[in-house]
Structure formats: structure tokens, C-alpha cells
Amino acid sequence: MAKAVILCVDDERMVLNSLRAQLLASFGNNYIYEAAEDADEALELIQELSEEDVSIVVIISDWLMPGMKGDELLIRIHEQFPKVVKIMLTGQADESAIERAKKFANLHCCLSKPWSEVELLETIRSGLSQL
């Protein structure tokens, strides 16, 4: 079986690089790490992976991005892939957006930027343990 994917969505390349480095250091080659710089790119990537029968197990998404906000993205993903662990990573999400994501996307956790690597990895592990 193909390795599962952890997808990171953020409009800042530096954040994506940092997340990838932390995930790779912690989980090694157990997963494939994908990145998208906005919601549209993420949805395209998810569609491609789905067509290739590759499962996405975790999505870590920023909230404030050009175009579609993170809560909207996670809700759309949840409609098609309800089992994916969804984590929002943000410096500026409003409470109503977080509540919407919890209610309609089964948001696992919302972490603030700058994030704690330990807290992020613990959050991912706790989400994965529920799969």
C-alpha cells in the first residue's frame, strides 16, 4: 500500500518549509509530505491524490489565505473526506471561523502561530491515534 500523505496548506513558503522539516524530522519516511500555497492548489492536489488512490491522513491549514479561508477549505474537504484529521494553524483566525471549522469540518485542533513544534507533533499524533 502507498504511504499516506500529510498535506500542509499555507500562503507563506517559509511556513511550508518549516512544517515539512519538522514533520520529516519527527515522522521520517512514514508519510509523504505535500504542500499547497492556497486552497485551490490544495483542492487540486487532493483530487489528484484521490484519483491515484493515495490517502491523506492529516491536513494542516493556515486560516488567512488569499481566496478561500482555511475554515472554508477544511469544510469542503470534510464533505468529501470526513476521516482526514484537520488542524488549523493560524495567527489571526477569528473565533467564529474556528467554531465553524469545529462544527462543520470536525476540526481536530487550532494552533496559534508561531507554533510550538512539540505541541504540533503531539496534536498530529493524537489525531492519527483516532484513525
d(CA 107, CA 88): 8
Q: For the chain, what is the domain count?
A: 1
Q: Whole domain around residue 21: which residue ranges?
A: 5-128
71, 99 contact by CB (below 8 A) = no
Type and span of the H or E element at 70: helix 70-80
pLDDT in tens, 44-83: 999 999 999 999 999 999 999 999 999 999 999 999 999 9
Is 23 in a helix, a strand, or coil?
A: helix
pLDDT in tens, 5-31: 999 999 999 999 999 999 999 999 999
Among 65, 118, 56, 54, smallest CA distance to 88 is for: 65
The CATH code of the domain that includes 91 is: 3.40.50.2300
Phi-psi region at 28: left, alpha or beta (left = phi > 0; alpha = psi -120 to 50): left
Among 107, 116, 94, 2, smallest CA distance to 58 is for: 107
Does the pLDDT value for residue 1 go beyond 70?
Answer: no
- What is the pTM (predicted TM-score) of this model? 0.96
Among 22, 131, 32, smallest CA distance to 84 is for: 131
